[in-house]
Structure 1
Amino acid sequence: QYEMVKMLTLPEGKFTVVGDDDQSIYAWRGARPENLAQLQEDWPTLKVVKLEQNYRSTGRILKAANTVIANNPHEFEKSLWSDYGYGEPIRFSALRDEEAETEWIASDIFHRRLQQGLQWKDFAVLYRGNFQSRILEMKLQSLSIPYKVSGGKSFFSRSEIKDLMCYLRLLVNPDDDNAFLRIINTPRREIGPATLEKLATWALKREQGLYHVCDDFALSEVMNPKAAEKLQKFKAWLDAKRQFCFGQNSLQAVQELITDMDYEGWLMQNASSPRIGEKNIENIWQLVRSIERMLEKQEDEEEGASDLESVIKKLVLLDMLEQQQEEDDSDRVQLMTLHASKGLEFPHVYMMGVEEEFLPHRTSIEEDNIVEERRLMYVGITRARETLAMTQALTRKQYGERIDTTASRFVDEMPQDDIDYLGIGIQKDEAKEAEVAEASIANLRALLD
């Protein structure tokens, strides 16, 4: 592209180029900030106009961005400034693990909206990789916070999650014909459309659900006996799982549900690449881990009692709420990767997982290519107009093991006087917390009035 532009502008060399080397975050798409440096060599009379006034962010946010990006080499030095005031301190919260991290973000969004009379669309959560949104989506749904995943699929909309959710729905509600039709041949059981049509006709005649009539004695009279045997076998298998699920080893039953039908093998066989297949498999086990956490929370709250059926019903309700939210695009919290956020702006921004090996990414550290990761940090910071919060999970589960994390080196590069450190190991400001609580109560009263 650069060479083409060069040829098109010769011999006069009259053209205008607009760019920002500090926001060059797409090297893997061919973006080269070095092109800006090449301009002065190819056009010696180049006139540089610096657009340094920022019309988006507060002074404190811009100061943090300027300080971080100053650690990168520059062909054209610049320093953003704003006349929007200095603004609130940047918050950095260190939480116990990824569960606590997402809990803090979801709760903070909920309370800030209440305290300040904001809209959901005023908030955005940015992260390095799409996988980071999975647990956060669960937390937002548990607080009935509407959200939209930009530049990627939401967790419940993924095909493999829909499949597993339909199995769980059928476990708690055998009358769910829609769930039955989705999973009766997933993985493939050689039960074709003709068999299902005959089954539907028979179920209508018996005034029962499709699943209930799968083991009817007379079914072999209205369809091929082999097809009837397959339906009967499927129902017997799932009936056994239902009994096991609602016993003492309910979580183990869900795990065995997946392994018994070799669902992992099915996902790998139907994936467009081994990498996609592995991601799909990770998603289904993420759902299982969510069920495990919900069961543990239930035990803590109800003193030892846990009920898989109520957990599945709650997940089904969350799934339904998400479908309703997808139809209403007016007022939702925005979830997106840092790459997808480029060019956008939000009043209140949260950056998740600001840790070594996330931001900067492990690959960039190994390849000693930190400069583009620093530009990604710069882009994330400058998406915020009014407030910016960053989070770190002190431990994370990776590859089946729980590991300790380290805060991103980019946090150390920020002006420390402009950061409020929160979370584990930080002494609480009780006066400030009381002030926040009073503000919440005042806003609740205003809403009721």
Structure 2
Amino acid sequence: QISLYEAYNEGEEATYVAEKIRELLRREGYAWRDFAVMYRTNAQSRALEDAMVATHIPYRLVGGVGFYKRQEIRDLLAYLRLIHNPNDTVSFRRIVNVPGRGIGKKSIETFHAWAGQLGEGYGVALGQIMQGIASPLTGRAIRSLVDFGHMLSNWREIATQGDLVPLFDAIVNNTGYIAYLSEISDRDEQVTERIENIQELRNIISEKKDLALGDFLEEVSLVAEVDTLADEQDSVTLLTLHSAKGLEYPVVFMTGLEDGLLPHSRSLNEADAMAEERRLMYVGLTRAKDRIYLTYVFRRMMYGESIPSVPSRFLGDIPADLTEGVSVKISDMRDRSAYQRMTSWDSTSSWNTSGSSPKIIPFPGSQAQTSNSPYRVGQRVQHATFGEGVIQHVERVAGDIEVVVSFTKVGVKRLSTAFANLKLLD
């Protein structure tokens, strides 16, 4: 049995997966180990891990480590912690020479001993070196520490401006961290995975960009501290599709089924790569013994922006009579030019195909019926595929205008006006 689910964003998608697992566990008598959640890229695990932690579901990661334990995430969070607390010894020692800036282990130990002799924290000791006060350090180490101190000072100034995204971007750019990843990674795919993880961290920061730096770090720490993987005896399995080969589970969730993720954006213009992506889709579909749930989202955070998604073209290969749950038929997806980035998403009854009107709830951060929008509640519109309908709700999301329209023939649908090409009838 194949069930389709369209969520509004990756957070709602992850929550759906967690709640469905708990429901099946309670109702059908499955054990935690009977569930597997699969995804195309390692970066996608973050929202799923957060949802598992929030709902107290034991889980384990196959072929990887938890999001907040990945090297690049720990490095960049250490930079943020040191900016917030100049005397954070652990963070200082982790990143003072990452990427390499000519401060070796011996110099770090000399600095540590000197700070101890002064009876001062690392932040004060670094400030004294920047002021030219004599220390046991010499030559390149001093110059590098002074440069490092100036970078920290500049970042702290950015941190006072109230938006964490420019701060994060400055850290990544000023340190040359992306180039550093290329140097320490064994293969191009590993570089890509690490960059995707960094982009996911940027997405988190973008969602919480108005928090003070200290508050943001506290929130992240709370999640990371309880992000303890369960043992292998009885826990939900999180894994990439690449790691799923040869494994089977009673219940499988395949998440993030959108063009750009599966198939991956790197494969869109290469026939061989596209064939490999299609094979990964097949691998996922054949891992389930009893049930499989396929999920995708209307909007996904990419590069810190909420961007409308397109359901994976591979969904069009699944016979419509094998699926249940979603009111957008798989056959509709086969017409890519007509489907574009349209959706049937609503907050309560996307998967109710009885035609009943859903309850529409504005989303956090959205602005309902903005004054400069050409669309109004009660307005009649025409759509090339869905026909005539009446607008029930208007809201602005991340620079886009979304409308909920009750169509005479096909019922209620949520559309991005940037792609739906609606014609105003009055």
C-alpha deviation, 1:358, in angstroms: 5.1
Structure 1 residue 381 corresponds to structure 2 residue 285: yes
Aligned match of 2:235: 332
Pairwise CA distance, 1:237: 2.8
**Equivalences for 1:49-60 in 2 at 5 Å?**
none
Give the aligned partner of residue 354 of structure 1. 257
Answer yes or no: is the 8 Å Cα contact 2:17–2:253 preserved in 1.
Answer: yes
Number of the residue aligned with 1:392: 296
Corresponding position of 1:13: none
Contact kept in structure 1, 2:203 and 2:302, CA below 8 Å: no
Residue 398 of structure 1 and its aligned partner are, at CA, apart by 6.3
Task: Work out which of the residue numbers 200, 208, 213 in structure 2 matches 1:308.
Answer: 213
Decide whether the 8 Å contact of 2:199 with 2:302 is kept in 1: no
1: CA distance between counterparts of 2:98 and 2:36? 36
Q: Residue 253 of structure 1: CA displacement?
A: 1.7
Cα shift readout 1:370-410 (whole Å, capped 9, x = no counterpart): 88766654543343344321112234566898354135444
Q: Which residue of 1 aligns with 2:207?
A: 293
Partner AA of 2:345 in structure 1: I
Asked if the contact 1:172/1:313 (under 8 Å) is kept, the reply is no
Alignment pair present for 1:181 and 2:93: yes
Q: Compared with structure 1, are the counterparts of its residues 374 and 282 closer, same or farther at alpha carbon in structure 2 (3 Å cutoff)?
A: closer
CA displacement, residues 326-382 of structure 1 (integer Å, 9 cap, x when unaligned) = 7x4444321112342233232332111334565566748963898876665454334
1:158 is matched with 70
CA shift, 1:220, in A, is 2.3
Q: Determine what percentage of the aligned residue pairs are the same residue.
A: 31
SS at match of 2:44: helix
Alignment correspondent of 2:45: 133
Tell me which moved more, 397-406 or 133-142.
397-406
Q: 1:230 to 1:359 in 2, by over 3 A?
A: closer
Change (3 A) 1:295 1:141: farther
Structure 2 unmatched runs, 5+:
328-343, 355-426
Aligned to 1:424: 345
Identify the range of structure 1 (98-107 vs 182-191) with the bigger mean alpha-carbon deviation: 98-107
Decide whether the 8 Å contact of 2:326 with 2:353 is kept in 1.
no
Q: CA RMSD in A?
A: 3.8
What CA deviation, in whole Å up to 9, does each residue of 1:145-202 have, x standing for no partner? 4432213444333322221121122233334322211100112221122221222212
Aligned mate of 1:318, from 217, 223, 231: 223
Q: Secondary structure at the match of 2:8?
A: strand
Question: Quick check: 1:123–1:333 contact (8 Å CA) kept in 2?
Answer: yes
TM-score, length-normalised on structure 1? 0.61
Give, as a single letter, the amino acid of the residue that structure 1 aligns with 2:136: V
Answer 1 or 2: higher relative contact order, Cα 8 Å, separation at least 6: 1
How far did 1:257 drift?
2.0
Residues 395 and 342 of structure 1: CA distance in aligned 2, closer, same or farther (over 3 Å): same
Find the aligned partners of 1:260 and 1:414 in 2 and give their Cα distance: 50
2:121 is equivalent to residue 214 of structure 1: no
Q: Of 151, 155, 176, which residue of structure 2 is paired with 1:241?
A: 155
Is contact 2:254–2:294 with CA below 8 Å preserved after alignment?
yes
Number of aligned positions between the proteins: 332
More strand, by proportion: 2
Distance verdict in 2 for CA 1:246–1:312, change over 3 Å: farther
- The verdict on how the C-alpha distance between 1:158 and 1:406 changes in structure 2, with shifts beyond 3 A counting, is same
- Between the aligned partners of 1:370 and 1:255, the Cα distance in structure 2 is 32
Q: Is the helix fraction higher in 1 or 2?
A: 1
Deviations, residues 255-275 of structure 1 (Å, cap 9, x unaligned): 112222222232234443555
Residues 336 and 216 (structure 1), Cα distance of their counterparts in 2 relative to 1, 3 Å cut: same
Q: 2:181 aligns with which of 267, 271, 276?
A: 267
Counterpart among 137, 149, 167 of residue 61 in structure 2? 149
Q: 1:195 aligns with which of 82, 95, 107?
A: 107
CA contact (8 A) 1:345 1:383 kept: yes
> Would you say 1:406 and 2:311 are equivalent positions?
yes
Quick check: 1:360–1:374 contact (8 Å CA) kept in 2?
Answer: yes
Using the size of structure 2 for normalisation, the TM-score is 0.64
Distance 1:161 1:225 in 2: 31
Q: Which blocks of at least 5 consecutive residues in structure 1 are unaligned?
A: 1-60, 62-89, 297-305, 432-449
- Determine if contact 2:256/2:297 at 8 Å carries over to the other structure: yes
Structure 2 CA distance for partners of 1:196 and 1:97, relative to 1, 3 Å:
same
